[in-house]
Amino acid sequence: MKESKVSIEIIFESENLARAFFNSINVDNINIPKDLEIITECVKNKLIIVVKSKSIKRFQSTIDEILRLINSSEKTLKTS
């Protein structure tokens, strides 16, 4: 199977907010499987996440997990 790739870009109201989300999801990118690549970048007020994998199941579950983390972070940051 060829590689699957997705790029997610989220624009926030401020650079500080984008950095907070970046820090909350970037911690999870340690010891990832060899068939998976996750690139996260914070550029000004934009969070950029690129996910690549040759395994469609791993690709899908990783995207789902990232979106859950973003949703959870959003709820946490709104209550702070």
The pLDDT tens digits of the residues spanning 46-58 come to 999 999 999 999 9
Q: Above pLDDT 70, what percent of the chain?
A: 92
- Residues 44 and 34: their CA atoms lie apart, in Å, by 30
Query: Residue 78 has which token pair?
Result: 């709104």
Tell me the per-residue pLDDT of 29-52, one tens digit each, with 9 for 90 and over: 677 888 899 999 999 999 999 999
- Residues 6 and 74: their CA atoms lie apart, in Å, by 21
Sign of the CA dihedral 18, 43, 8, 2?
Answer: negative
Q: What's the confidence (pLDDT) of residue 74?
A: 83
15 sits in which H/E element? helix 15-26
Q: Which domains does the chain have, with CATH numbers?
A: 4-79 (3.30.310.50)
Q: What's the confidence (pLDDT) of residue 26?
A: 78
> pLDDT category, 27, cuts 50, 70, 90?
low
Sign of the CA dihedral 61, 63, 65, 68?
Answer: negative
